[in-house]
Structure 1
Amino acid sequence: MIRAVAGRELRALFLSPLAWSLLGVAMVILAWLFLVQIESFMQLQPQLVAGASELGVTDLVVAPLFDSGAMVLLLLTPLLTMRLLSEEQRSGTIRLLFSAPISTAQIVLGKYLAMLGVFGLLLLLIALLPLSLLLGGTPDLGRLAATLLGMGLLLACYSAIGLFLSSLTEQPAVAAISSYGLLLFLWIVNLSGSDDRSGLFEWLSLTSHYRPFLDGVVRSGDLAYFLLLIIASLLMAIHHLESRRRGG
């Protein structure tokens, strides 16, 4: 049943111009950023060779691309996730799902799986940008793999949070604004001062757990952070939807 819900959601997404538009906008922006980074690298290359610098194309092109891409996708993700459950509640079609022989967990997981499918396609397209460097350069493939893993976890986290907030309201616009607010807060929370609470804020920050992947560092603590945030968001979405289901 999860696959049936995911298939239904994927068809709805790709029959709508919204998903195609957002994917197109994301790729245009990221391709432009990629070309800008390549141009900067080409200008710096003589200085790097003369100075025997250890910095290479992975440091100066790939890492900045995925660093900027994380913020670009933070801005686009809520527009995709805002309708997942809020539109169902607003239009009343959620009652049809509740009356079907399908659990609340299957509804939530099916919709989440559909979002992972969309972002899996996007991540594949993004991966083609740095892989194109193999035609004329030698990017660090191990570090690229870690970077793609980090981006995949980040997008999965964005999706789970957006899905949860979509379950809280019948208004897609409210769901999108709430997602923007929470994701941006998690992105910048580590910018607080250096008081006793800074350690907690550093741990809460998406940035603190994402950027090590850009350096090719895969830490169990960062993996656990993303998985915990994803699972917690999905469980809260299931709990809220189950409460609504029982309340009629």
Structure 2
Amino acid sequence: MQVTLRIAWREFAALFATPLAWVFLALSQFILAWLLLTLTERYQQQYQPLLVKLNASLGVTDLVVVPYLADPRLLMLLLLAAALLAMRLLAEERRHHTLPLLLAAPVSSSEIILGKYLGALGFALLLALLWGGMPFALQLGTQLDLGRMLAGLLGLFLLLAALCALALWVSAWSAQPAVAAVGAFVGGLLLLLLQQGGDAGVLGYLSILSHYEGFLRGQIRLADLAYFGLLIGGLLAFTVRRLDALRVQA
């Protein structure tokens, strides 16, 4: 476990050793801050007078926070984060021919993959706190449904965690960071687009958005937790098998 944690810390620190991660964090914060400001302004100018007139029970959580967490721009940034991680995790090691050195060490493939995943998960947790934490500032001026917001924040983190696992798996198949980035972006996009409205049976269950939406409604269901657990566990298991194959080839 100590080796795994060292690998995790190395991966997490390496992400911030280049300007790319810092630029991504800065730009994403700017874009999402502007988005939240736009949604808040629309609520004040359009929705609030109508809600007062109709004496409706909807509030800021329903009309600002949930649309913010479900906005396509935030989802697109999630895919870009997955692409950024895919460039870094294994593809870059293969490109610089440092992966054989890691594979030659007395460390199992499972420890390597778990360490790299935990490093990526640290970055995902940082993103979830930065992106999902901004709406909590609205609590200073209004009353929010904190339980629903925390459920949404958990859903955002699980969505990021699943995309991290996908990025790691894709990264194991390419020695070119750019190819890995495109693969992770497209793979994540397919998961998001599996279901386009309505109940689509098997595709509806496989769609990552259908499970994310449950958290946005404030529901933490066992089926949704199991979906994310199986998706992440399956992708990590496939990545371990891929790394075992690379170890044999090396």
Kindly provide the CA deviation profile for residues 160-202 of structure 1, in whole angstroms up to 9, marking residues without a partner as x. 00100000110111111111111111111112897xxx30110
Of residues 152, 158, 182 in structure 2, which corresponds to 1:153? 158
What secondary structure does 2:134 align onto?
helix
Q: Secondary structure at the match of 2:40?
A: helix
- Counterpart pick for 2:28 among 26, 29, 36: 26
SS in 1 for 2:194: helix
1:54 lines up with 2:93 in the alignment:
no
Q: Letter of the aligned partner of 2:113 in structure 1? A: V
Match of 1:71 in 2: 76
Range 94-103 or range 148-157, more displaced:
94-103
Q: 2:4: which partner in 1?
A: 2
Aligned to 2:182: 177
* Farther off after superposition, 75-84 or 236-245: 75-84
Partner of 1:99: 104
- From 222, 236, 243, give the equivalent of 2:245: 243
On the 8 A contact 2:79/2:184 being kept in 1, the answer is: no
Contact kept in structure 2, 1:150 and 1:210, CA below 8 Å: yes
Within-5 A mapping of 1:197-212? 198-212=200-214
Superposed displacement of residue 229, structure 1: 0.5
Question: What is the rounded CA distance, in whole Å, between the counterparts of 1:40 and 1:192 in structure 2?
Answer: 25
RMSD (CA atoms): 1.4
Residues 122-150 of structure 1, C-alpha deviations (whole Å, 9 max, x = no match): 22222331111111101100001100010
Q: 2:148 aligns with which of 137, 143, 160?
A: 143
Deviation at 1:247, TM superposition (A): 2.1
Q: Which runs of 5+ in 2 are unaligned?
A: none
Structure 1 residue runs of 4+, over 4 Å off? none
1:62 and 1:137 mapped to 2: Cα distance?
12
Q: Which runs of 5+ in 1 are unaligned?
A: none
Structure 2 partner of 1:217: 219
1:105-130 CA-to-partner distances (Å, cap 9, x unmatched) read 11111111111111211222223311
Look up the match of 1:126.
Answer: 131
TM-score by length of 1: 0.95
* Compared CA separation, residues 187 and 127, structure 1 to 2 (3 A): closer
Equivalent residue letter for 2:44: M
Question: Between the two proteins, what is the percent identity of the paired residues?
Answer: 46
